[in-house]
Amino acid sequence: GSGKTALLQRLARDWRHAGAMAALVGDLATDLDARRLQEAGLPAVQLNIGQGCHLDAAMVARGLEALAATGSALSQLRWLWIENVGNLVCPAAFDLGEDLRLVLLAVGEGEDKPLKYPATFHAADLVLISKVDLAEAVGFDRPQAVANIAAVAPRAAVLEVSARSGAGVADLLERLLVSRA
């Protein structure tokens, strides 16, 4: 519910000029998220973890093979998005070979999440405060959230985004392009 799939849909629509991209999508069951991304024009493979709580390197390797079989080999991509399972505990402990680790904190989740799940935020290079278009409606305390993020992840940059309105998406692209330079 943090908006990971919605943000990837937005990126697929708005960032076509940023280079070839594809996604591996982790979830307990179904291929709903992968289908949403495919409908937005993003090659995507669903990785179902069943009773597990995170993706691991072997699952990512299988996903890369499946992407290659659809014509989206890793060597042809500028961006490979790995959407890990949506919880703030298990994914933090496993390196998937990523160049950059993004963590999404939706405004409706509360400002305290960085303090409750410090390992997830500590490992982040970039924290995206998502669904900012809803911040006022849910009484989100931005300064407190930023302070909590800084307390557990002092090296992480923080950006605010909304997949729905597009707020902050251009800033995100700029940040990611600079990180890939």
Question: What pLDDT digit, counting tens, does each position of 25-45 carry?
Answer: 988 888 889 999 999 999 999
pLDDT of residue 180 exceeding 80: no
Residue type, 120: T
pLDDT value, residue 92 = 66
> Of 51, 46, 43, which is closest to residue 31 (Cα–Cα)?
46
Q: List, in sequence order, the alpha helices (H) in 15-56.
A: 32-39
pLDDT band at 97 (very low <50, low <70, confident <90, very high): confident
Residue-wise pLDDT tens digits, 46-61: 998 777 777 888 888 9
Plot region of 168 (φ>0 → left; ψ -120 to 50 → alpha; else → beta) = left
Residues 6+ apart with CB under 8 A from 82: 23, 24, 26, 55, 60, 96, 98
Least confident residue range of 5-19, 90-104, 107-121? 90-104
Percent above pLDDT 70 for the chain: 93
pLDDT value, residue 93 = 66
Mean per-residue pLDDT of the chain: 88
pLDDT of residue 86 exceeding 90: no
**What are the Cα distances from residue 86, in Å, to 25, 68, 90?**
10, 25, 9
pLDDT band at 13 (very low <50, low <70, confident <90, very high): confident
pLDDT band at 90 (very low <50, low <70, confident <90, very high): low
What is the arithmetic mean of pLDDT over 163-168?
Answer: 95
Residue-wise pLDDT tens digits, 101-117: 899 999 999 999 999 99
Q: List, in sequence order, the alpha helices (H) in 40-107.
A: 57-69
Q: Is the dihedral of CA 81, 85, 86, 88 positive or negative?
A: negative
